[in-house]
Chains A and B, each alone.
Chain A
Amino acid sequence: MSLRPDLAVIAAHVERGSRVLDIGCGDGALMLALREKACDVRGIEIDGDCVERCVSQGLSVVQGDADRDLADYPDKGFDYAVLSQTLQIAERPDRMLDELLRVGTRAFVSFPNFAHWRTRAALMFGGRMPVTRSIPVTWYETQNIHHVTIKDFRELARQKAARIERDWYFAGERSIPRIGANGRAEFAVFELTR
């Protein structure tokens, strides 16, 4: 099974043997990859079926709501806190970013970029909320309550005094350069510290 591109980047850049908290871990794909790297990985996931699948595979996953439950985790209890494709569904992404950098020494964040040219085109020429490869669900069904662009996220990081250590951009499966990424990237991955 091949990992989603943002997860593959994260899996490749987490150091061997680290302690990792995967927030919104889904079916545990990243956790399994990190377990191969001898990491001590924990997950939080709201969906019970996903949690059951994770636990059945021997992963340590807690069914819960990251917006509330992160508060229980001690400061810097993890080397990395990972938030993949979950920022845009957080109740308050700004507070979520604070929590990530509180529980983890480093944080990985990935999200779909709302400023991708296809999204812009759909809105500009179609006059409709976009349904694209990276934002595949209609406006009334989507869980995404905080659409965000790469520029927006950079600004949030600046306000939160979070340092962007590394960044990666993707159009589909393909990695693309930082230049022009706000218009060309469907997904972005950031590694942050504070």
Chain B
Amino acid sequence: MNATSQTIALSSTLPLDGGGELAGVEVSYETYGVLNAERSNAILLCHALTGDQYVASPHPITGKPGWWERMVGPGKPINTERFHVICANVIGSCMGSTGPASVAPDGQPYGMRFPVITIRDMVRAHVGLLDALGIERLHAVVGGSMGGMQALSLAANWPDRAERVLVIASTSRHSAQNIAFHELGRQAIMADPRWAGGDYYGGEAPDNGLAVARMAAHITYLSEEALTEKFGRNLQDRDTKSFGFDADFQVESYLRYQGSGFTRRFDANSYLYITRAMDYFDLAEEHGGRLADAFAGTSARFCLVSFDSDWLYPTSESRHVVHALNAAGGAVSFVELSAPHGHDSFLLEVPALDRVIGGFLG
């Protein structure tokens, strides 16, 4: 489908939760569907950790279809015949929005001089984009996984900006286990000699480290059932074990393929910064320690969806948010859907999710 990829420079410097500020921030975004005259039919779609703005258009590097092509388009649950869908690359990422690979004011890439950012900082940049686009109030903000964190953050910190908040397979805080897996990925990157303290631009990138990080993360996106179903103990292109360390098993081969494919399209430093932002995310902490206070007085309608096979952000995390919204008197829907794929279910074929999203967006 046709998409218009654009980049705007935010008109003011971006204050950051870490204390500093970021000047000259650029935000790259894609839009689908037409904004109506009242500017009231916009949906902000927030992408996940390694996602990007190419939600329903081919990826410029890999050429693969958009990551939520099955959900976004004419006649689809997020119907672009009715809604104007905006998806912006988060700051800290590497697909056009300002991140560690961007050029700093001194003409050199930021590298590790890029400030540590938070989920709220990402959303602050999104709000800057909405201001520039003249969109006062969104029909909805929608996101899965880290996108759901952004949706919650927008609802809590800019409560007038969205009428509906749809949060899929997400959480209001990173657990010790979540942080642990991310730290594993970061250490893999930093242990790669090519990482060179983050100063590798113009030379060889730490692809080995980044691939390992991706492999570890990929395991967390799938359920054990899905891995067993897909690979079992099947061997890859051979009849017997090699008694060596080649990828004997199909699951090994698959993970290696996922890891190396990922390095073609993603920047290792971005991976460090974005995982850090996710680890720092704790919506209750931002609001005096009580999650219900984050949503005090909200007039938005919320919908949370979890998947029974998701062990990365399990149903209990969604329920935690739902309980807080109930306590705050918020209008909230919640459903745990049954799907075999694990955390990645939100990206895959789950017809019940289509119905819930379509119904909730109205």
Binding site for B on A (CB under 8 A): 40, 42, 48, 51-52, 54-64, 69, 72-74, 77
Contact = CB atoms under 8 A, between A and B. Distances in A.
Contact of A55 (B323, B327, B360): B360
A52 B322 CA distance: 16
A51 B334 CA distance: 8
B34 interface: no
19 contacts: A48-B336, A51-B335, A52-B337, A52-B355, A54-B333, A55-B360, A56-B358, A56-B359, A58-B359, A58-B360, A58-B362, A59-B333, A60-B331, A61-B333, A63-B335, A64-B334, A72-B326, A72-B327, A74-B329
Contacts of A59: 333
Contact of B335 (A42, A48, A69, A73): A48
A57 B360 CA distance: 7
Contacts, number: 60
A136 to B, nearest CB: 27
A54 B356 CA distance: 9
Most chain A CB within a 10 A radius of its CB, from B301, B327, B334, B337: B334
Nearest to B306: A63
A172 B332 CA distance: 35
A59 B360 CA distance: 8
Contacts of A74: 327, 329
A73 B322 CA distance: 11
Given A52-B356, A55-B303, A55-B335, A72 B329 contact: no
A52 B350 CA distance: 12
A52 to B, nearest CB: 5
A73 B326 contact: yes
Interface in B282-322: 301, 303, 319, 322
Nearest to A43: B333
B50 interface: no
A74 B352 CA distance: 31
Contact of B355 (A56, A60, A72): A56
A60 B327 contact: no
Interface residues of B, number: 23
A60 B333 contact: yes
B338 interface: yes
Contacts of A62: 322, 326, 332-334
Contacts of B331: 40, 42, 60
A55 B356 CA distance: 6
A58 B336 CA distance: 16
B336 A63 contact: yes
Interface in B331-359: 331-338, 352, 355-356, 358-359
A72 B359 contact: no
A55 B326 contact: no
A75 B126 CA distance: 37
A103 to B, nearest CB: 10
List the 5 closest A-B pairs by CB distance, nearest first.
Answer: A56-B359, A72-B326, A72-B323, A62-B334, A51-B335
B327 A52 contact: no
Contacts of B360: 55-56, 58
A52 B352 contact: yes
Contacts of B352: 52
Nearest to B360: A55
Contacts of A57: 359
A20 to B, nearest CB: 12
Contacts of B319: 64
A64 B359 contact: no
A40 to B, nearest CB: 7
Given A60-B301, A62-B326, A52 B335 contact: yes
A74 B325 CA distance: 11
Nearest to A19: B329
A56 B356 contact: yes
B303 to A, nearest CB: 6
A48 B358 contact: no
A74 B295 CA distance: 14
A48 B306 CA distance: 11
Nearest to B353: A52
A55 B333 contact: yes
Nearest to B315: A63
Nearest to B305: A55
A159 B352 CA distance: 44
Contacts of A40: 331
Contacts of A63: 334-336
